[in-house]
Structure 1
Amino acid sequence: MPLIVSFVSQKGGVGKSTLARALAAVGATGKLKVKLADLDVQQQTSVRWGKARKQRGNASPINVGAFRSFEEALVNSDAFDLIIVDTPGHTSPTTGTVARASNVVVVPTSATIDDLYPTVLLLRALEEIGISQNRLAVALCRVLEASEERVARNYIAAAGYELLPGFIPERASYRNAQNRGQALTETVDGAANESADVLIESLLRKIAEQSAVMQNGNGD
């Protein structure tokens, strides 16, 4: 069975699709068969990125598609090693369905209180439906300066959760790369890449831990 990693948020603009595409690119570079399922059929942010990537021709291949339901996204799932689910930028009954089926649920947030507050609400809601903390990965994105990282980590810690090590800085180079069908992991941006690499590596460790749990047949 493939690993399923979902990216969920209470609102848009927090880096959800950016992280989903980065993980997809890393997986594909590692020779995994990757499906990136875009459940936002109206915006299709990841689908447009996938088309731009395909036009480049020299990037690691990723199967990217738009799906009206999670069940539709899982069709032919055995053909893939990793299925990444990019959900719409809001919660719905589908959010719970996706989360329950996922080995890891990634909840991105920016460093603003306007985003941190709904992120904590979402984390608590996921726990209420049976998603344990060891399956949750809270990721910090769109950081402008170091002081924002400290504020965000303290806020999340006070709520009883923990941010993954590292963060995604706000960079024009990242936005430009994604317009070309690249992931942030496929750019060269000095110190910015260092903090982003730390976050991606910590997410990969989280996924590996949950993969081991799945292989051993252990529950939460």
Structure 2
Amino acid sequence: MWTMIVTFFSPKGGSGKSSSLLAFLSAIALKNATSPDAADQDRVLVIDHDPQGSITKFFDRRDELKANSYSIAFETITNSKDLIDALNSKKGAYDWILIDFPGHFSELNAAIALLSDRIIIPTNLELIEAQEATAFYNRLSSLLSDVDSNTAVSLMIVRIPQAAQFLPRFSKDLINQLRHRGYAVLRGMLSSQQAIPNMVNYGKYLFEILLDDRSSKSTLKAIEESNYLYRALKDWELLPVTTDEANEE
């Protein structure tokens, strides 16, 4: 079995990487829950390598609830060598290995992240956050080039205001600038829906939260976005890079 290893990595904590991983995972859980044939389900291993432990808290809560696994396994691995060993031994046993990395940069973490097929760097649309994310992107890209790695790196826009059509002009310009400068930006994005951080508190996937409140527009929107994120990451759909002429228009 070919395994896709995806690392959610960020230069700082609180960037939305853990919630982005959970949103993506929620789409897989929904796919598996609605696929009666086990052969059609995605087998997943989630690894929490972040000392903050948000993913661990989520799965601990699910254990308390004795919730369905939906073919998703979980491990907390804090030691870097153990993580490398796990990737080497478990690759091929799962369709996906998803890793939540610490919210800081180190040469060791970067070297381990380069074992991934995809590295996702979440960022919101605030200027300082975007600058930190792009600097981190450049640093990782330089390392990839130095070791001739095939790992793909992409920015991912998160915490978009819910009324996306009313985004400030500055925010729209910032997205265009990222595209214009040649940064890979994942087509799947997440808005600031409360249902996403609620997953950690409840220990439930988005569709399970919806079962408790079928009228929640926020949860429905979050499910829609997480499903789109799944397709974008699976097929590696990126926003097109703009040309000088298109950017000026």
Which of the residues 207, 225, 231 maps onto 1:201? 231
- What residue ranges of structure 2 are gaps of 5+ in the alignment? 33-40, 211-218, 238-249
* Residue number in structure 2 paired with 1:10: 11
Q: Matched residue of 1:48: which SS?
A: helix
* Residue number in structure 2 paired with 1:71: 84
Separation in structure 2 between the aligned mates of residue 39 and residue 133 of structure 1, nearest angstrom: 22
* Residue number in structure 2 paired with 1:155: 177
- Counterpart check, 1:136 vs 2:153: yes
What's the % identity of the aligned pairs?
A: 25
- Counterpart check, 1:50 vs 2:64: no
Separation in structure 2 between the aligned mates of residue 107 and residue 39 of structure 1, nearest angstrom: 15
Q: Does the CA-based 8 Å contact 1:37-1:73 persist in structure 2?
A: no
* Residue number in structure 2 paired with 1:210: none
* Residue number in structure 2 paired with 1:113: 127
Give me the CA root mean square deviation: 2.6
Which of the residues 34, 42, 46 maps onto 1:32? 42
Query: How far is the alpha carbon of 1:140 from its aligned partner?
Result: 0.8
Separation in structure 2 between the aligned mates of residue 20 and residue 97 of structure 1, nearest angstrom: 20
Query: How far is the alpha carbon of 1:133 from its aligned partner?
Result: 8.9
TM-score, normalization: structure 1? 0.80
Q: Does the CA-based 8 Å contact 2:10-2:121 persist in structure 1?
A: yes
Q: Detail structure 1 runs of 4+ shifted over 4 Å in the superposition.
A: 131-134, 184-188
Against the structure 1 CA distance between its residues 127 and 185, is the aligned structure 2 distance closer, same or farther, given a 3 Å change threshold?
Answer: farther
Letter of the 1:74 partner, please give it.
L
Query: How far is the alpha carbon of 1:196 from its aligned partner?
Result: 4.1
Query: How far is the alpha carbon of 1:192 from its aligned partner?
Result: 4.5
Letter of the 2:47 partner, please give it.
A
Q: Does the CA-based 8 Å contact 1:27-1:82 persist in structure 2?
A: no
* Residue number in structure 1 paired with 2:243: none
Separation in structure 2 between the aligned mates of residue 121 and residue 185 of structure 1, nearest angstrom: 35
Q: Matched residue of 1:101: which SS?
A: coil
Separation in structure 2 between the aligned mates of residue 186 and residue 107 of structure 1, nearest angstrom: 27
Q: Does the CA-based 8 Å contact 2:24-2:226 persist in structure 1?
A: no
- Give 1 or 2 for the bigger CA radius of gyration: 2
* Residue number in structure 2 paired with 1:170: 192
Q: Matched residue of 2:133: which SS?
A: helix
Letter of the 2:229 partner, please give it.
L
Letter of the 1:200 partner, please give it.
Y
* Residue number in structure 2 paired with 1:218: none
Query: How far is the alpha carbon of 1:21 from its aligned partner?
Result: 2.2
Q: Deviations over 1:90-141 (max 9, x none)?
A: 1111332233211111111111112100111111111111267981222111
- What residue ranges of structure 1 are gaps of 5+ in the alignment? 208-220
Q: Matched residue of 1:80: which SS?
A: coil
Moved more, 179-188 or 136-145: 179-188
Against the structure 1 CA distance between its residues 160 and 186, is the aligned structure 2 distance closer, same or farther, given a 3 Å change threshold?
Answer: farther
* Residue number in structure 2 paired with 1:216: none
TM-score, normalization: structure 2? 0.72
Separation in structure 2 between the aligned mates of residue 158 and residue 51 of structure 1, nearest angstrom: 42
Against the structure 1 CA distance between its residues 45 and 196, is the aligned structure 2 distance closer, same or farther, given a 3 Å change threshold?
Answer: same
Aligned positions, number: 206
Query: How far is the alpha carbon of 1:20 from its aligned partner?
Result: 1.5
Query: How far is the alpha carbon of 1:32 from its aligned partner?
Result: 2.4
Q: Does the CA-based 8 Å contact 1:3-1:83 persist in structure 2?
A: yes
